[in-house]
Structure 1
């Protein structure tokens, strides 16, 4: 009997080794891993420069506290600030913590309390981030949620303009809704957010937990659009497997996050910071981003080519290497079939197969994945028929 709380629907796979895009389980079976640890391992498993940076830091020291000066934090913060066009950074340990801090900062800076988010969004599982998440299933069973959060329909400019009012501290959104089904924001909607927030004195928070750190073919997904947030949150790919998150904000917000206003014992841990610096040095290279965009288009085209005549596929959509295949049936059985075929994938809602391959994957691996998906869908359709 397990001593663990049964909070996860675990697969019958126990990793014993992994490198690049590939993972080996307890029985010696190899899998092409297109989950990337749920969008964490953007550089793939055991990326050499990250591994070396972590090992070098481990030889020095593992932890002190945020009472000490930390050159590594300053360097990592500088990279994030320069890449986003913002100015100040707070380090924490996860995406939920980053979003929690962003909500606190927005309320404190504006003196207002309402946060507007979107149906089908996902922002975390703390009490504030559960309340921010526009999915009822995440909030069920926990009693009264933290106030005041209100949900609008994603990409609906008219509804958003009606909801944002004088008491709104911030509008918080994902540029691509990951857990919600791989839905991409459109420019008209983003223009409305900018205009309404400026008029009502509200801040704009962009949750880049899953879309950031190169996933969409830009360092950050907001850079795909004519759009500049006041606050950005990042985590997942920032440490390539080491726990780290960050809040990045404009200079005028610094006065509202002074000593004693917020904190984290482990936030900006030197080992995680070493990993983050190595990740950023790779991800922020312009040639690397261009290559991710090209790979993403290649993979999208390959999937459409393989699946264009399949009656069970409703739509294939995404940006960069964040892709969803919407089916006319539940996606979970297909995910299980793909595991049997040696391909690891995710779902995004009941009907969407979610693909988050390493940004370092080879074209041959994208082709192999597309072939496996087409074969699995065809086999499953034939069996059901």
Structure 2
């Protein structure tokens, strides 16, 4: 694979930032095909990319490229729910069953528990247990060839929820924490039930249009990623042979509100900065969103992290699946942000998970570390 490094910057940032350039090259050297990075801080805006946009190519990922943002979708969905809480249309500690009676949810499951992943609801994309056991759900990216073969299949949100509810709960509501994409499928259905409009329409009306996020899409069942974009790949075993396929196009209804949205680093910067600085939610609900669960660091659609050596607090969410991934970080005042996208070769064994984790660490230290 041919690798390249390309960076651009505005006059405020100049052509420097060697720590960012090195972080990008380190990420590519770790096995990630390509990365694009955008940083906004007191030195201005810095934008760069490294690696390649597609297998066998030489062009770097476009710095204005679109990509699937994975679980960063959850932050958008949580913001919608909390806006409805602010309007008095949803109660944060009201049983979710009051809004979605058709599913006969355990009445101990509150709206807060859905957003915080403390409901105990089985994860429809598969459950990982502490002893290493994996209990599959629908064919997801942990399923290898089965996911590849069904990647254009359409799933209905109600279907995903009913599958999850047919499985034993992970724990009693409120008694533990476990990441479940189904929590956010339920949150999306809750928004739609309360507003009478699709979650895509509410997202456009309440977030995308007010903030001018023209590069962000709630795709529904559409298989397309808008141009320009880097390509995404998936590796799997078939009859003893290793196959690698381009999965840039697929139907994201399998992940739904757990991670189906598409965006750009510019739009993610605008969104997380606006959210952190209080432009989207009143202060009391933003404080709720930022309050981490003791066991996980996960608030209501946001995570909270203390950067070592005096770097301070950052708010963030990350996500990835099927060869695209996204990072989204901000200081609590929204003035310093890091947004990034990766393109890579995914597989059922999540073999790049360690590289993805190190990517986060490198970039966070480079941007938010003590100065």
TM-score range for the pair, normalised by the shorter chain length: under 0.3
TM-score (norm 1): 0.26
**What TM-score results when the alignment is normalised by the length of structure 2?**
0.27
